[in-house]
Every structure is written in C-alpha cells, then in structure tokens.
C-alpha cells in the first residue's frame, strides 16, 4: 500500500492522548476509527473524511474537497481532500474535526 506516510504521522500526532481511536487498513490506505466507526483516513496522497450525508454538499463546497470516487462512483458522505492543501495544522484539524463529529453522532444511535 502506498499512501502519504507524512500525513498519517501528522494525524497520529494530533490524536495522541485521545481515547477510542484505532487504525485499520481500508480502501488501500489507512483509516482511523473512533469507537469502531470510520471517521477519516489516508489513501494515496489524499485525506478521506467521512462527513456524512447532512453536510456532504457543504463539505464539497469547501476548498480542495472533491467526492470520494475510488470505485468509479461517488460515495455520498465521504470526501477527498488533497494532502498538499493540508500543510497547515489548522486546515487538517478542521477536516479531522468534521470526521470525528460525524463518527461521534453514529455512536449515539
């Protein structure tokens, strides 16, 4: 599997000390799960964020976001963000927060 190791390392550092997170090989990359629910990951040079259906269109309108379509068909609720646009920690944190918010909402069901 080839994916942006530097981005994965940055995510790991940001999650250090937080409880409930696990890593799993998924989609040909690495995914991060919060209490068993996928929230974000890295595939090749892209961050993948599970934003859910409610804010999917809003997330797509954000700079450098595009539909996750690795199967050839967009997966509603998931977006790609190119890692080169995530050089600042604040930008990465914003996307990680969106993924954590959605995964957390799934735990309440």
Going from the C-alpha of 48 to that of each of 14, 39, 68, 80, 108, the distances in angstroms are 16, 8, 7, 5, 23
CA distance 8 to 13: 9
The CATH number for 75's domain is 3.90.1150.30
Q: Each residue of 65-101: pLDDT tens digit?
A: 999 987 788 889 999 998 878 888 899 999 999 999 9
Q: Each residue of 8-64: pLDDT tens digit?
A: 999 999 999 999 999 999 878 999 999 999 999 999 999 999 999 999 999 999 989
List the domain range (segments joined by +) for residue 77: 5-107
Number of domains in the chain: 1
């Amino acid at each position: 599997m080839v994916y942006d190791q530097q981005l994965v390392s940055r995510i790991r550092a940001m999650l250090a000390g937080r409880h409930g997170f696990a890593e799993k090989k998924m989609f040909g990359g690495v995914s991060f799960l919060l209490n068993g629910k996928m929230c974000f990951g890295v595939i090749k040079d892209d961050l993948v964020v599970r934003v859910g259906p409610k804010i999917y269109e809003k997330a797509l309108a954000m700079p450098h976001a595009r539909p996750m379509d690795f199967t050839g068909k967009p997966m509603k609720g998931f977006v790609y963000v190119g890692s080169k646009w995530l050089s600042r920690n604040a930008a990465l944190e914003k996307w990680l927060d969106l993924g954590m918010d959605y995964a957390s909402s799934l735990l309440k069901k």
